[in-house]
Structure formats: C-alpha cells, structure tokens
Amino acid sequence: MDELDPFRDFQRTHYCAEITEQDIGREVHLVGWVHRRRDHGGVIFVDLRDREGTVQAVFNPQHSPASHRKADALRNEFVIGVKGKVSRRPEGMTNPKLKTGAVEVMADELAVFNRSRALPFNLDEDLEVEEAIRLRYRFLDLRRPSMAANFALRHRVSKITRDYFDGLGFYEIETPFLTRSTPEGARDYLVPSRVNPGGFYALPQSPQLLKQILMVAGMDRYFQIVRCFRDEDLRADRQPEFTQVDLEMSFVEQGQLIEIVEGWIARLFEELLGKTLQRPFPSMTYAEAIEDYGVDNPDTRYGLKMKDITDAVKGSEFQVFRQVIEGHGIVKALRFPGGTRLSRRELDNLVGMAKDWGADGLIWAKCTGAGLQSPIAKFLSQDIVGAVIDRMGALEGDLLLMMAGSPGRVNPWMGRLRTELAEAYDLIDSSAHAFTWILDFPLFERDKEGHITSMHHPFTAPREEDIPLLDENPEACRSLAYDLVLNGTEIGGGSIRIHRVDTQKKILSILGISEAEGEEKFGFLLDALSYGAPPHGGIAFGLDRLVMILAGAKSLREVIAFPKTQKAACLLTQSPGPVDAEQLRELHIRTVLPKKPASG
C-alpha cells in the first residue's frame, strides 16, 4: 500500500475557486478533494475541489515526472495537496462553465493526505439519489457543491439577521432547553430528571414565555436564533427540531413590529438574491384570506380567488345546494379562466381528487356561448345561471368549479383545489416571491371536540375594540396576531401579548383553565405580569423555511445539515437508539413497549 503523506508545513494559499487570471504566474498551494480525475495516459487532469469550488490541476510527465507518477494512483475523493504555478489555459482549452475555467494549476508537487473508498453514490452530478442513502452518508452528500451552497446561504442569513437586529438594539439572549412542559400546542419532547425522580423537563416548542419574561425583566428588545422542538409528524417543511428567529420588543405596536420585520426580510432578499422588495408588504385579514383563498396561508403568486355564491344559487332545484343552504352551509365557486379546454377526463380527475379529500362532490360548469354546460345545468334556472355568471365575472371559455357544504370543510377543500389547479396548469411564476401579512386572526377557535382553544396561543392580546366581546361572544373576538406568508408558506407568526394580569386570567378562564391550573402551569408568568409588565409583542420566523425558499429547495432537509427522516430518525447516527438498563435505572424510567402480535 502506498504511503500517505503527512500533513506538515502545508500552508494553503487559496481556496480552489479563488484562483483567477490575476494569479497567473503565481505559486499557489491548494488542498482539497479529487473531484474527478481524467487520465490521458500522458497528462492527467484533476479537478480539485474544496468548499468554495473546483480548479483544474494538471500533472504533466514532462513538467514534473514524480507528481505525474503519483497522480496515477489518485481516485475520487482522495484528499490531496497540490503546489504549483497558475497558468493560463492554452488557446481553445478554456471551460466557460467553470468559474476557474480560464486557468489551471501546473502541479510541481502532489501530497496525498488520505484515500477514499469507492463512493456509494455519485457526488458531482445532480442525479437523484435515494434520500435514505444520502442521509446515511451525509458527510458525502454535504460535499456536493449544491449542498455546500445551501449552507453558505444559511450562514449568511444568520449573519445578516444578527447584524440587522443588533443594529436596532436587540440583545441576543439564550433561553434554556431544559424547561417545563406547558399545555396547548404541540406534543413535547421530554427529558427525564435524574435528580428529581419522576420529574421531566420539556424541550421548548418555542421560547415564548421566557421571552415575555425578558420583557418584564426590562431587556426591552430580545432576539435569538434558537432551536425549537415539537414531537409531531413530519412533512417536507416540518422537522421535529427546527430553528426559529425569535424576537420580542417592549413598548411596541403591531405596525411598528411589522415594519421592523419587513426591513429585515427586505435586507435578506436584497443582499442574498439581489432583489428589491416592494414595501410595505401586502396584507389581508384572516377573514379575507378564508373568503378569497379558503386558507390562512394563501399563495398569492396567482389568482383563482374564490367567491361565495350561496345567495346566488339559493332557490335552485339542485338538491345538494338546497340541503346545504338549509343546513346553514355555503356554496363557493372558483373561476378558472380558459378552463373550458379541460377534457371530460380532466374534469373527472378533479372531481375524483375532491372526493379523495372527503368532499361529497365537486361541480363543474363550462361557460360556453350557449350558456352553462354542466352536469347540474338542468337544475339551474336562467336567473340563477345569470346570477352566478354575474357574481363570478365569468366569461365565455371559463370553467367554474363549485363546492357546497359547511364553511369549515368547503373553504379548505376549495383552497386546496386552487393550488392543485395552479400546479397542474402551470399558473405559478416560480421566480416570484409573494409576501402577504395575515392580520386580525380570531382569538379563539373550536377544536374537534368543540372546546374553545387559542388560535395562536393563550398570551395573544385581543384587539382593543373586541375586548367587550370576550364576555358575550368570545369566538367573534379578533386578536392582535399576525402571520407572514410567502408563496403559500407561513414563514413567521407572532402577536402583541397580553401585559395585564387581569386580562390574562380572563383569557385562561375562557379557555377552561381553572385558576388553580393556571397558577400551577403559568404561575410564573402571571406573577411576572403583576410586577410592572410593559406592553410588548413579538414574532418568530422559521429560519429553515426561509432558507429553503431562498435556496429554492423543495424540502427542509436540503438546508438542515443533519435532518431527521419522516419517522424522526437520523440515518447517520442511527438515533433514536437503545440505552443501557443502567441509564434507565438512574433516570427512574421503565419502558413499556407496545404489544406485538405473537409470532408463531
């Protein structure tokens, strides 16, 4: 076996990708990985790669017989050092695809610091490789230039974020990971306490209460780039541990906070994408979002807004409409311009899709010169057809898609139909970045069991003018909560908080949390609020989601160095894994595994 060279007295002078025509004639010392080797029998080319990119090293037997001989043994991903002079590539040999394509390094010396086994997958091509393999060999996957670029971007997002908030007088303050479980929200990750038998810490879902306490503590402006944990099922845009840009300010109102956040986002886009964002960002109320888009995170890169046509179809002969309207349901419609070109098969697919979601049906109607062409046309009088066309602003060639049912079901389904249509018929400008603030969220909502819960969280302040509603009709009460949506993804959300202890107690009581329970779970907050808490509010952003969008990635896993799989496992470290019985004993823990069906 060939000897490896010691790494000694080898001072790197440049990153590979930094070599330019300015360096021609200069001696450079480079280190990195063999990205690819091309052996022509005589001359050998090696694309030498480091974090920043690649440069071509040339091993010529006439120029340096010893290093040429040594280069013969190089293979992909060997770790080497090259000393040599930068030269201009011969006429016609430049590679315009490479940043360093006009130059090359004529190798005088080659040092081989380490070898590599044959690779489990190809690193350089943007071929799709099964994600399980990429994750298992994440150290190789991350060497791919596109991944390196994602982390360079992520670093710059963090750096700009720190600089921006520092510039506005925010303190970066750390909050504990070992904290206590609070009700509401997501499932907690729990950590058993060795010294307190039977006691558990919870990893924070967000530093919510502690940042409010920091405001009470007079810190005035706080921010943190902080890991948060939620033990819920994963999605392409949801990991069990994720990073928030979390901030909180005292003596602030919604408008001012929004302005500060927009300044930050605009700076990120300006510096990272060279894109100037129009400010202020557009906004709509929660009620408008639901009315027009069916969801509270509308993708505003395209139209296809929907409209309520309940009153227009009232009195129709169509049984489904009649029954729904009698049952206080709604009928909503969406206009797809030019949609009459859809074939019967395509329409059936749309209907089938809606039924897969659980919808009772989806009704289509083509606007033709001869009126509405639809399976339900015979149930609709001329008056009703006229009213619908009028309401929808439908033109000849348009397709109308209608759904009837309770608002809680029809709105999200129509919202989903809208995105499916936009995707299927290519209505999305993928280069666009459409921001929308969603304002005036309801303070409360009802869960499946009919219990009243906080829409945002229990510390969100009601709108001043809606406070009287707390007693009469809490569900109509709007809050001072706000979300920022980008291209249909919620990237941040926050609120003005309750700073009066009496209001906070009232909210808890509406939520059905008894005084004793409130005292036990949030006593420290109630205490803090009663010692001169300043008016305050804040917001938190999903850093991973933001970086994902900036990087144009389809999954969070592309911008997280060591992400979890959908089953919340790390394929690199094989976590979660078993622990010793002794460790469990110390923690006063006994595991009870689910029963498996008896085998044999």
Residues 256-315 that bind RNA (CB under 7 A): 296
| Part in contact with RNA (CB under 7 A); list of ranges 34-42, 164-172, 250-258, 379-387 | 34-42
> What are 86-92's contacts with CB under 8 Å, separation 24+?
86/19, 86/23, 86/24, 86/25, 86/26, 86/28, 87/24, 87/25, 88/21, 88/24, 89/56
Q: Would you say 322 or 409 has its CB closer to RNA?
A: 409
Q: What does DSSP say about strands 481-486 and 103-114: parallel, antiparallel, or unpaired?
A: unpaired
Interaxial angle between packed helices 344-357 and 407-424, expressed in degrees from 0 to 180 and rounded to the nearest 10: 140
| Part in contact with RNA (CB under 7 A); list of ranges 8-16, 120-128, 219-227, 271-279 | 120-128
**235 scored as a contact of RNA (CB under 7 A):** yes
Q: Would you say 216 or 289 has its CB closer to RNA?
A: 289
Q: Would you say 50 or 398 has its CB closer to RNA?
A: 50
**378 scored as a contact of RNA (CB under 7 A):** no
> Which residue, 273, 254, 372, 278, is CA-closest to 318?
372
Mask for 183-202, x = binds RNA (CB under 7 A): -xxxx---------------
Give me the amino acid identity at 55. V
Nearest approach, Cβ of residue 281 and RNA (Å): 18
Task: Please identify which residue in 10, 15, 113, 121 interacts with RNA, judged by CB under 7 A.
Answer: 121
| Part in contact with RNA (CB under 7 A); list of ranges 182-190, 218-226, 261-269, 423-431 | 182-190
Task: Please identify which residue in 111, 153, 470, 481 interacts with RNA, judged by CB under 7 A.
Answer: 481
Mask for 134-153, x = binds RNA (CB under 7 A): -x------------------
Q: Would you say 325 or 547 has its CB closer to RNA?
A: 547
Give the C-alpha separation, 494 to 455, whole Å: 11
Task: Please identify which residue in 104, 292, 440, 544 interacts with RNA, judged by CB under 7 A.
Answer: 104
Task: Please identify which residue in 58, 324, 342, 477 interacts with RNA, judged by CB under 7 A.
Answer: 58
> Which residue, 336, 334, 313, is CA-closest to 325?
313
Q: Would you say 236 or 579 has its CB closer to RNA?
A: 236
Task: Tell me if 17 sits within 8 A of 100, measured CB to CB.
Answer: yes
Q: Exposed, middle or buried, 555 (CB in 10 Å: 0-12/13-18/19+)? A: middle
Q: Would you say 60 or 283 has its CB closer to RNA?
A: 60
Alpha helices of 489-565 — where are they, by DSSP H? 501-510, 515-529, 543-551
Cis preceding-peptide flag for 576 (omega within 30 of 0) = yes
Query: Segment 396-435, which members bind RNA (CB under 7 A)?
Result: 412
Query: Segment 351-370, which members bind RNA (CB under 7 A)?
Result: 356-357
**75 scored as a contact of RNA (CB under 7 A):** yes
Task: Tell me if 367 sits within 8 A of 399, measured CB to CB.
Answer: yes
> Which residue, 435, 535, 521, is CA-closest to 482?
435
Nearest approach, Cβ of residue 416 and RNA (Å): 7
Report the SS3 class of residue 475: helix
Nearest approach, Cβ of residue 378 and RNA (Å): 33
How far is CA 207 from its chain centroid? 19
Query: Segment 531-550, which members bind RNA (CB under 7 A)?
Result: 540
Task: Tell me if 110 sits within 8 A of 59, measured CB to CB.
Answer: yes
Task: Tell me if 148 sits within 8 A of 212, measured CB to CB.
Answer: no
Q: What does DSSP say about strands 221-229 and 171-172: parallel, antiparallel, or unpaired?
A: parallel
Q: Would you say 321 or 522 has its CB closer to RNA?
A: 522
Q: Strands (DSSP E) along 89-152, which ranges?
A: 103-114
DSSP letters spanning 484-509: EEETTEEEEEEEEBP--HHHHHHHHH
Nearest approach, Cβ of residue 266 and RNA (Å): 22
Task: Please identify which residue in 456, 499, 536, 545 interacts with RNA, judged by CB under 7 A.
Answer: 456
Task: Please identify which residue in 150, 161, 206, 487 interacts with RNA, judged by CB under 7 A.
Answer: 206
**576 scored as a contact of RNA (CB under 7 A):** no
Task: Please identify which residue in 4, 66, 132, 178 interacts with RNA, judged by CB under 7 A.
Answer: 132
Q: Exposed, middle or buried, 1 (CB in 10 Å: 0-12/13-18/19+)? A: exposed
| Part in contact with RNA (CB under 7 A); list of ranges 112-120, 251-259, 345-353, 391-399 | 112-120
Mask for 488-507, x = binds RNA (CB under 7 A): --x--x--------------
**60 scored as a contact of RNA (CB under 7 A):** yes
